[in-house]
Structure 1
Amino acid sequence: MAGTGIYTASKHAVAGLTKAAALEARQHGIRVNALSPGFILTKIAEPVVKSDPQVYETWKTFEARQGRQGKPEEIGDAVALLSSTQMSLVNGHNLVVDG
């Protein structure tokens, strides 16, 4: 989206740092992964998003791309899965959770 260059650059930086940290920490048995959630209308974001009709319409457009409105607990489920021993071979990964 136009006007989001700084935001986009920071997201790419997190992905790169995740890979670098994973390489450095694996010798100590530490896994490093990142999680990139889609648009989640949280209790913190809701007043800001709904205070401006144009922002709210944009938000709904992003949610439509996801196919439905995501719930905060779904992000927590993804974090729990990524942190579990079942995912012990996953290291340096950016899990996108956006529907």
Structure 2
Amino acid sequence: MAVTAAMMLRPRMWQSVAGWMMAAVLVLLVPDIRVPQNGAYAFTLYFGKLEWAIGFRVFCLAGGLLWAMAADHRQRCVPRRHERTVGVYRTMAAIAV
């Protein structure tokens, strides 16, 4: 119950935390050692060790990086609630003057 109350008080913070946690899981936990190993083999143009499971892990890695970029964008560029309200009040004050 306290977690729900905390999430209702600061939903933006919890959305950022959830986004970064999912990105970390997709980037750090899903891929194994075969992904960089096959990347190194690709530089020598040897694709004999390439398996279908590696493709899925690379796909998860790319998705995790995209998710991290989205979480970073949300954290930096989306205005906070109080910033939007202050902007509305400034606009209303400018119109009134």
> Do they superpose with TM above 0.5?
no
- Which structure shows the bigger proportion of residues in helix conformation? 2
Question: TM-score if structure 2 supplies the norm length?
Answer: 0.33
Question: TM-score if structure 1 supplies the norm length?
Answer: 0.33
Greater RCO structure (CA 8 Å; 6+ sep): 1
- Which structure shows the bigger proportion of residues in strand conformation? 1
Which structure has the larger Rg?
2
